[in-house]
Each structure stands twice: as structure tokens, then as C-alpha cells.
């Protein structure tokens, strides 16, 4: 992260192998990462001098991650990303009382987690960079090498043009594109396209986003907005 002080991240995870891969990904990304295996130790550590962000496993041997977060919130407002092994826990994580900023379901890609950390730190710094051209929309992870996209930690099963269309929108959040513009940018080498081609792909993308947002954010489909007479945009 050039031009920025190295962010300090506290990783609270009792499984050493998982902790190691997270620490490695964060350090490779230029962040300072520390590790605690217990909730009590993590709170002590945060009282001594808060980290910029906490990655917190829900299932810890002493306190639950929820308890740790609740106590942490009484003296510190550093962003918290939960690690959870169970989809049933997501409703509680996104629930108002806990105060989490994001969550990742195990198994997850450490690189993706590092990308989430960076996105949250950017947001926490109040930068408007989250909507800048070329930046990714919140909640999405774009693995350009693997040509795949994840929404809220879940990889989407996309056809080639669904992927290209969503990748374009994710890279330009908040900007409205007409159907003609999208066809030019996304379907540049396709022969048989019509206005309906874009609409059909938006429809299937919305269905897949809705599917990927179970419980956590039922409005996933609403991320792609229709602007009457103008076209589509992706909500930043």
C-alpha cells in the first residue's frame, strides 16, 4: 500500500494452519499482521493498542467471536471481519447487535480475504476511492486470472458473457451504461446481439446474485439497477 502507513491487522483464529495462510496473505499484501489464538488474549491485545482491523473467528476455545466483538465494541470501533464455518451463523453476524463489518465463510481464499481487508480499510478512511473508476464494487471479488467473480464470498457460476458483463459493471460501480454501450464494451466480438441480449443477461445475473445472497443480504439482485430509458448500473 504505497503512500500509506502499513495497516496493522489482528488475526484471532485458533486453527494454526488457517491463521498461517491468513497471516501470509496479509503480509504479502504489505500489511502488518499479528495473531492471537484466544478471544481473551485478543481483547487484552486490543486494549494495549488497537489494531486497524480485526479478523475474528466465531468458534474460539475460550470466548465466542460474538462475545469478543461485543466486548471489543465497548472500547474500540476498529472494523471486524468474522470468519465462520457455518452459514447459519451469518444471520447473527449481519444482525445489528454484533457490529461486524463483513464476514467470510470457510473455506475461503486468503487472497480474497486480504482484498476485503483492503476494501474495508479504504472505506474506514472515508476515501471516495470505493466508487472510483477501475475500483471494485463492495461485496464483489474479481479474480481476473481465474476469470471469475464472487459475491459476498461465494463464487458465482457464470456463462462467458454473464461474467464479462458483471466484471464490467463491478469495475465501474455507480456509472450508468446504456444497452448499446454495454453491447459495445462487453459483446464486442459477438455477431448476434440485440437490446434483449443485455436484458436477458441482466435477468440471469440478478437471479444468480439473489442466490448468492441467502440470508446475509437478500437484496443482492438489487445491486444491478435499471435506470428507465437510460440503462443499467451497479450500486457501489
> Is 59 or 222 the residue whose CB approaches Ca ion more closely?
59
Minimal distance, residue 65 CB to Ca ion, in Å: 8
Stretch near Ca ion under the rule CB under 5 A, chosen from 44-52, 59-67, 88-96, 127-135:
59-67
Q: Which stretch binds Ca ion (CB under 5 A): 56-64, 74-82, 142-150, 162-170?
A: 56-64
**Strands 32-36 and 154-155, bridge-based pairing:** unpaired
How is 12-76 classified by DSSP, letter by letter? E-S-HHHHHHHHHHHHHTT-EEEEESSHHHHHHHHHHS--SEEEEES--SSS-HHHHHHHHTTT-
CB within 8 Å of 209: residues ≥ 6 apart = 151, 156, 220, 221, 223, 224
Residue 100 beta carbon to Ca ion: minimum distance, rounded to whole angstroms: 16
Maximum distance among all Cα pairs of the chain, rounded to whole angstroms: 63
Question: For Ca ion, how many residues bind (rule: CB under 5 A)?
Answer: 3
CB of 83 to Ca ion, least distance (A): 8
Q: How near is the Cβ of 15 to Ca ion at its closest, in Å?
A: 5
Q: Which of 40, 50, 59, 174 binds Ca ion (CB under 5 A)?
A: 59
* Residue number of the CB atom closest to Ca ion: 59
Q: Residues 182, 227, 102, 148: what is their CA dihedral angle, to the nearest 10 degrees?
A: -20
Backbone angles phi, psi at 206, to 5 degrees: -60, -40
d(CA 140, CA 127): 18
Residues 7-36 that bind Ca ion (CB under 5 A): 14
Kindly tell me which of 56 and 170 has the beta carbon lying closer to Ca ion. Answer: 56
Residue 89 makes contact with Ca ion by CB under 5 A? no
- Of positions 7, 31, 52, 57, contacts Ca ion by CB under 5 A: 57
Where along the sequence are the contacts to Ca ion (CB under 5 A)? 14, 57, 59
Amino acid at each position: 500500500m504505497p503512500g500509506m502507513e502499513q495497516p496493522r491487522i489482528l488475526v484471532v483464529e485458533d486453527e494454526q494452519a488457517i491463521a498461517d495462510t491468513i497471516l501470509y496473505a496479509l503480509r504479502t499484501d504489505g500489511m502488518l499482521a499479528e495473531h492471537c489464538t484466544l478471544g481473551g488474549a485478543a481483547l487484552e491485545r486490543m486494549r494495549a493498542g488497537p489494531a486497524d482491523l480485526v479478523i475474528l473467528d466465531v468458534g474460539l476455545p475460550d470466548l465466542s467471536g460474538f462475545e469478543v466483538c461485543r466486548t471489543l465494541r465497548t472500547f474500540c470501533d476498529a472494523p471486524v471481519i468474522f470468519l465462520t464455518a457455518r452459514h447459519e451463523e451469518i444471520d447473527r453476524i449481519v444482525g445489528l447487535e454484533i457490529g461486524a463489518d463483513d464476514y467470510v465463510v470457510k473455506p475461503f481464499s486468503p487472497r480474497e480475504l486480504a482484498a476485503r481487508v483492503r476494501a474495508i480499510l479504504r472505506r474506514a478512511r472515508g476515501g471516495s476511492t470505493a466508487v472510483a473508476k477501475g475500483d471494485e464494487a463492495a461485496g464483489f471479488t474479481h479474480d481476473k486470472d481465474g476469470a471469475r467473480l464472487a459475491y459476498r464470498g461465494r463464487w458465482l457460476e457464470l456463462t462467458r458473457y454473464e461474467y464479462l458483463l458483471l466484471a464490467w459493471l463491478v469495475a465501474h460501480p455507480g456509472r450508468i451504461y446504456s444497452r448499446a454501450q454495454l453491447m459495445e464494451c462487453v459483446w464486442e466480438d459477438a455477431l448476434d446481439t440485440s437490446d434483449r441480449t443485455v436484458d436477458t443477461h441482466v435477468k440471469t445475473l440478478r437471479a444468480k446474485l439473489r442466490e448468492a445472497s441467502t440470508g446475509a443480504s437478500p437484496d443482492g439482485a438489487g445491486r444491478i439497477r435499471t435506470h428507465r430509458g437510460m440503462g443499467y448500473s451497479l450500486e457501489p
